[in-house]
Amino acid sequence: MDKKNVQVWASNYLTALLMFMLISLFLIGCATVPLTDRRSLHLVSDSELLSLSSQQYDEILMENRLSSNQGQVQMVRSVGRRIASAAEAFLKESGRQEDIKQYKWEFNLIEDDKTVNAWVLPGGRAAVYTGILPYTQNENGLAVVLGHEVAHALANHGNERMSQALLAQMGGTALSIALSTSPQLTQQIFMTAFGVVANVAYLLPHSRLQESEADRIGLILMARAGYDPNEAIPFWQRMSKQEGSRPPEFLSTHPATESRIASIRQEIPEAMRYYWKK
């Protein structure tokens, strides 16, 4: 075999080996999304993700001022608890009872009127910013937001986005190694993947597929919690009016378009079957 053929053979071998490794990585790290049964890539272990989540959440609370408006705080926590209970019931009925032990639900309201955002981290620790309250307006509107964000957590969309980013930027490096070699990049990937830092959301935008899944599951969760799913339409309409050259943080990762609202209209009848049971 001459030198040129050897180089071609080596190149083909490396390509085949890389493809085999990527396929193996996908099969090993696959998980299933509740309700839709879609297969998604999860390279980050639950234990590592929960540990990093707890650390980041504590740091965020230390760096921000919690709201002293007890009425609003109680509303956030009350709605959050009801959505969380609905989520656990959903997991039980889906045969995922073991997943429930991962969640230690906590809902806090951060005093920041300029930030229109909310998110839920792995383990169920969540934050709502006061800037989104004018758009939610009441408990029903808040249930739309928290139902949607809890749905992202149940579907492990953040793990999927973080896995994709680790694979793309660090060659599929394990989280523990990535933290020791590139801690700042890894933490940025984490914060972006879970919608905590909106100004870098453009680097890891939520996919249309993930958003559709979160909308559908979120509507069911809010319905099961006793909130009218029809309230999702006026909420997203209020949010969509704010779209422009620089939309609010919540819209940076949750694009509210007419096509999205139309899709939600089609999904409401499914969610209403759970609401009517109340």
Torsion of CA 100, 84, 258, 230, to 10 degrees: 130
The active-site residue out of 88, 111, 149, 258 is 149
- Inter-residue contact 40 to 30 (CB < 8 Å): yes
Distance between CA atoms of residues 122 and 153, nearest Å: 6
Q: How many CA atoms lie within 13 A of 216 on its CB side?
A: 16
User: Residues with Cβ < 8 Å from 269, sequence gap 6 or more?
Assistant: none
Please tell me whether residue 122 adopts helix, strand or coil conformation: coil
Structure tokens at 272: 């209403």
Mind giving me the DSSP string for 13-78?
HHHHHHHHHHHHHHHHTEEE-TTT--EEE--S-HHHHHHHHHHHHHHHHHHSPBP--HHHHHHHHH
206: left (phi over 0), alpha (psi -120 to 50) or beta: beta
Backbone torsion region of residue 38, taken as left when φ is above 0, otherwise alpha when ψ lies between -120 and 50, otherwise beta: beta
Query: Is residue 149 among the annotated active site residues?
Result: yes
Residue with tokens 């937001």: 145
In angstroms, the CA 271 to CA 117 distance is 24
Residues labelled catalytic: 149
